[in-house]
Amino acid sequence: MDVSLLSAPGGSAMLPVKLGREVEVLERREPLVRHQGRLDRWYLVRLADAPYIAWVFGGGLTPFCVRGDLDGDGRADDLATVYFDADGLVHVRTRVAGQISSGVIEPGGPTDYRRGGRISDVSLLPASVAGMPLVEMHTDFGGCCIGFVKYLSFGPHDIRRALELTDYFETSDRFSAVEVRFDPKTRTAVVREHSGEKDQHERTIAERTR
């Protein structure tokens, strides 16, 4: 979070809360409402490490907060938060070496939150692995037959797509999965796809890698 706790939904600010602070959700108020341009719900929360109970708008909450060492100082104090809002947009925030960047990513297609898409996994890749710090985000249809992966780079103030791929898909007669390998020295990526076909009994009858 990087928001203020409020005395009531839309009320006065009680306490500023830094990005990544853990809270416990006590109540979710229906229905969806629009607040400061965002569509979400109001939540009554309690700070995990302090005796504060207050309200916060859903745009400041996420179950996806990952930490790591992105600035190479030997401490896992850098972090990224990711969440889908009710308008189907992905909001990404990072804090690296004390500097916060934020951006809004339009997922589109079948990973649209309003059509059943979800974020399934988020991780951080340091520059020593990928050549530049990246946020790796996987989205899918609740473990269904297709998934997508996005690698996001970030500058002083914004978040951008660095690479976006269909991570995997599987139907009754076909399947495909990709593997991404980064070369940190050249700051490039090699994508390998493994795909194939299945017969009527869903047994693999052909495979290929490219």
Position 25 scores a pLDDT of: 94
Convert 6-22 into a string of H (helix), E (strand) and C (coil): ECCCCCCEEEECCCCCC
pTM summary value: 0.84
Indicate the domain borders of the chain: 1-61, 62-209
For every residue of 103-117, DSSP letters joined together read EEE---GGG-GGGT-
Number of CB atoms found within 10 A of residue 7's CB = 12
Q: Which CATH number fits domain 1-61: 2.40.30, 2.30.30, 2.60.40, 3.90.220?
A: 2.30.30
Tokens coding 145: 């037959």
Q: What is the pLDDT of residues 39-60, one digit of tens each?
A: 889 999 999 888 889 999 988 8
CB 45 within 8 A of CB 104: no
CB 85 within 8 A of CB 37: no
CB 96 within 8 A of CB 133: yes
Q: What is the pLDDT of residues 44-103, one digit of tens each?
A: 999 988 888 999 998 888 889 999 998 888 999 999 999 888 777 888 999 998 888 999
Position 33 scores a pLDDT of: 92
